[in-house]
Structure 1
Amino acid sequence: MGKVFIAAQDVKAGRFIDTRFNLQDRDWGKHAFNSGHIEGAIYWDLEQDLSDMTSSAGRHPMPSKEQLQQLFKRSGLNYDDCIYIYDQGGAPFAARAWWMLKYANFPSVYIVNGGFESLKQAGVSVSEQEHKYELSNLSLQWNESIYASRNDVKTIVDGIHNATLLDARSGERYRGENEPIDNVAGHIPTAKNFDWEQLKQGSELYANDQLLNTFKRDEEVVVYCGSGVTASPLYAILADCGYDNLKLYVGSYSDWITQFDIEIGESK
């Protein structure tokens, strides 16, 4: 999949997408955008644009292909655009948008490591004016190879398909010791655990040896979390490190528990 993360000082001319969001204050991101954003940037909201909140497939359900195509068209995006996505830094939201664009096979999409403040510090122009783009005419070719459905994950759990499930939540949520959000505690059976917050170094995200030693480079890995949001940066980091056989279970644990059993403790 090639390079995923880019340093703010290496950003060139292109399209910018602002994905700042706060799960505890859902209006914060849009207010932050209106108070100042990278000049020419558009704003994508986690719940209004990057999720289908009318669906029952988890807490931040995957938008339909039609919904995504309309989002990309009204954003004026084209396949030949170089697209830079940022959030507040050290957050999962830019990675969520990046994955959606890669699912639609946009070739040149990057996550700005360090987010909005790093771009400001690098001297990229900031504006309070929202730029309007003409509708684009897109014929999308979807990359189904990076998407995992609930039933795809079930084939892994049942031993029909050989792949590693990787849970991006905290260890205590993974083991079922504490579950503050979903109504069932535990994890998808057979899954390994790597807390995505271990990727954080200040406002930036980086891999570490513990992650890279969790599995072999050539094995298939399906990443999930609670609702598909915080699994996205873990997926993006692995892709940036050259892991090519990756899938994201967007519905994640909150979708899995609507149909199937869970496991408590550590998977063997």
Structure 2
Amino acid sequence: MTNVFMNWKDLQPEKVRFIDTRFDLANKTSGREMYDEGHLEGAVYWDLEQDLSEMTSKMGRHPMISKEKMTKLCRQAGLQLEDAIVVYDQGASPFALRAYFLLEWAGFTNVHVLREGYEAVKGLFRISKEQPEISVSDVVPNWEDAIYMDVDDVKKVVAGESEGQLVDARAAFRFKGESEPIDSVAGHIPTAINVDWEQLKEDGKFLEKDLLVEKLQHVTDINKPVIAYCGSGVTAAPLYASLKEAGYSDVKLYVGSYSDWIRDNEVERG
């Protein structure tokens, strides 16, 4: 099984590179403000919309970034492929896991997400208000394209031309199409099943591995390709990571997600 999450008790700050991804979808500047007010010493800041999404794209509400943008982001952070990297957000949020997915896509193999988040650990480790001095790296990503799916890949799964189980991370009422508070069309991608990502956390942190196994091992055949999506591709990242933690060996993420799918594809309700 993959260990995506790291508990604070196992953290050795002097041996890791920190990435702070705190964000608030309702207040787009608050993440950077939180970082400036104090962050784990040495952490760089990555913003969900400025850094981890391609907001000029029409392929969903938080579209996938280009390889060029990801390469530049990693180089500016001074990262090397062999670095031990720990990503965190405010806790029980999807933002660190979005960064985790992108780092995995870029071929970084020693990346973990702090299970408890910043709020739970800020009294335990050294905090700084200073932006660290970073030596830009010349890292060349080792792309893992198999974990990323676009709308054409998903169409093949829906049509039965490719194997895979789509899993929708949104709340059940949105999945069923009973109401839709954000997107223009209510429903879900045909053939998908529903696992609300909110079930994967409690008390401000993501569940421990044994509880994730208990919750997720019966979603589908554990050896079958499984594809996480949500509304905009953000809250699908915790589902993606939790499925990996629960022992699924072939997990993918449809970053465009439902907001991309509904541009010109049919949906199901119920």
Secondary structure at the aligned position of 1:226 is classed as: coil
TM-score, L = length of structure 2: 0.95
| Secondary structure of 2:48's aligned partner | coil
Residue identity matched to 2:267? I
Contact 1:9 1:119 in 2 (8 A): no
**Correspondence 1:259 to 2:245:** no
Instruction: Decide which of 38, 46, 67 is 2:40's aligned counterpart.
Output: 38
- Show the counterpart of 2:30: 28
1:48 to 50, 63, 79: 50
The 1-side partners of 2:129 and 2:245 are apart by 32
Q: Write the distance in 1 (CA, Å) between the matches of 2:17 and 2:24.
A: 23
| Aligned residue in 1 for 2:5 | 5
Structure 1 residue ranges without an equivalent (≥5): none
Where do 1:84-163 residues align within 5 Å? 84-121=86-123, 123-163=124-164
CA displacement, residues 185-238 of structure 1 (integer Å, 9 cap, x when unaligned): 100001000000011111111226342211121111011000100000011111
| In structure 1, distance between residues paired with 2:84 and 2:57 | 31
Aligned to 2:62: 60
**Equivalent residue for 1:242?**
247
1:70 aligns with 72
SS in 1 for 2:122: helix
Q: CA deviation at 1:159?
A: 1.1
SS in 2 for 1:184: coil
**1:108, 1:5 → 2: CA distance?**
11
User: Secondary structure of the residue that 2:34 maps to in structure 1?
Assistant: helix
Describe the SS at the equivalent of 2:108: coil
* Contact 1:175-1:264 at 8 Å conserved across structures: yes
How far apart, CA to CA, are the structure 1 residues paired with 2:213 and 2:244? Answer: 14
Report the Cα distance in structure 1 between the residues aligned to 2:202 and 2:183, rounded to whole angstroms.
28
Contact 1:199–1:205 (CA under 8 A) maintained in structure 2: yes
Q: Which residue of 2 aligns with 1:217?
A: 222
The RMSD of aligned alpha carbons is: 1.1
1:228 aligns with 2:255: no
With normalisation by structure 1, the TM-score equals: 0.96
Contact 2:35 2:45 in 1 (8 A): yes
SS at match of 1:32: helix
Corresponding position of 1:178:
179
Following the alignment from structure 2 to structure 1, what is the Cα–Cα distance between the partners of residues 221 and 9? 33
- Identify the residue that residue 204 of structure 2 maps to in structure 1: 203
Q: What letter is aligned with 1:258?
A: R
State the AA in 2 paired with 1:213: H
State the shift of 1:135 in Å.
0.9
Query: In the alignment, is the contact (CA less than 8 A) between 1:199 and 1:208 conserved in 2?
Result: no
Structure 1 residues 22, 53: CA separation in 2 closer, same or farther (over 3 Å shift)? Answer: same
Over residues 7-55 of structure 1, what are the superposed CA-to-partner deviations in whole Å (9 max), with x where a residue is unaligned? 0111112100000011011111111111100000000000000000010
Stretch of structure 1 that moved more, 123-132 or 104-113: 123-132
Higher mean C-alpha displacement, 234-243 vs 89-98? 234-243
Q: Which runs of 5+ in 2 are unaligned?
A: none
